[in-house]
Amino acid sequence: MSQPLKLQKPDSYIVSAILEVPADPKGIVIAVHGFASSKECATYQMLLRRLPAAGYGMLGIDQPGHGVEESAAEPLRIEGCKNSIETAERYVLDHWPGLPVCYFASSFGAYITGLYLSTRKHHGRKAFFRSAAVNMPELFTIDGNGPVSQEKLRMKTELEEKGYFITGSELGKPMKVTRAFYHDLETTDLFRLFAPAPAGEHRISMAHGEKDEVIDPCAAIRFSEKFSVPITIFKGEGHSLGNDPATPERVADLAIDLYNS
């Protein structure tokens, strides 16, 4: 049975989380949700069902500025998101020393996890990226190259006038994006920063929808090829990887195969 968890960060912010660990676990998986999602998401519910049955504990966190509990009170900043993963990992290491740490990250959560693995000391060596937002900055920022959508112009105008903008519904629940977070995105390119190898040997896999309407599959494939990360493309699937009821189970199978390898 899963249980709620409150993890205190060094800066006194709280990570609201959910935890389920089977008897004699083979490892603990830290799950990181996507933009405008939370620990109540369908992916976490699927993982809570599949991972313990496969012998893995699952610790799913709310990212800063997300959910309806304590994590929602923390400003959304990239360093704060990485701090939340680090706090979750420290909890795992304190309570299950010696067990492997793994990661399952979706969309924006995969972007953050990729940055975390590349810029922070960590112990996990296996990560599964679902619908990874490898080009996350492109969703919001304007780089001066090529045509600019009306939606990006709206966000930029609101940012200049108000100091923040509200995201559109295509990204899920509308979210407040501050000037500080916008600047974080402008200066944090995962294609440039991704480098987990110095921390030790890693095994990373990806899954992406062929018709992903949020994160261009071409960007995911480009990331996969650049960093030699295996990727499974699901035909007919969009960003949620849930058009076919069987797809979430197939995604879970891929992740469990990675953790077992």
Q: What is the pLDDT of residues 149-177, one digit of tens each?
A: 888 889 889 999 999 999 876 667 889 99
pTM to 2 decimals?
Answer: 0.96
Q: Identify the band that residue 257 occupies on the pLDDT scale cut at 50, 70 and 90.
A: very high
pLDDT tens-digit profile of 81-115? 999 999 999 999 999 999 999 999 999 999 999 99
3-state helix, strand, coil split of the chain in percent (to 5) is 40, 20, 40
**What per-residue confidence (pLDDT) applies to 146?**
59
Q: Tell me the residue range of the domain where 212 lies.
A: 3-136+189-260
Q: Is 226 within the bounds of a domain?
A: yes
Task: Work out the average pLDDT over 131-156.
Answer: 84
- Structural tokens at position 31: 């799950």
Q: Is 230 within the bounds of a domain?
A: yes
Task: Work out the average pLDDT over 192-217.
Answer: 96
Q: Give how far the C-alpha of residue 188 lies from the chain's centroid of Cα atoms, to the nearest Å.
A: 15
Question: Mean pLDDT in the chain?
Answer: 95
More confident residue, 151 or 16: 16
Write the CA distances from 99 to 92, 95, 146, 186, integer angstroms. Answer: 9, 9, 48, 37
More confident residue, 189 or 173: 189
**What per-residue confidence (pLDDT) applies to 141?**
84
Q: Is 32 within the bounds of a domain?
A: yes
Question: For the domain that residue 51 is a member of, what is the CATH number?
Answer: 3.40.50.1820
**What per-residue confidence (pLDDT) applies to 249?**
97
Q: Is 30 within the bounds of a domain?
A: yes
219 Cβ partners below 8 Å, 6+ apart? Answer: 134, 135, 138
Mean pLDDT is lowest, of 87-91, 129-133, 146-150, for 146-150
Q: Is 219 within the bounds of a domain?
A: yes
Mean pLDDT is lowest, of 33-37, 41-45, 172-176, 203-207, for 172-176
Q: Identify the band that residue 145 occupies on the pLDDT scale cut at 50, 70 and 90.
A: low
Q: Is 154 within the bounds of a domain?
A: no
Q: Identify the band that residue 118 occupies on the pLDDT scale cut at 50, 70 and 90.
A: very high
Total of domains in the chain = 1
- Structural tokens at position 164: 């923040």
Q: Is 217 within the bounds of a domain?
A: yes
Q: Is 108 within the bounds of a domain?
A: yes
Q: Identify the band that residue 147 occupies on the pLDDT scale cut at 50, 70 and 90.
A: low
**What per-residue confidence (pLDDT) applies to 132?**
98
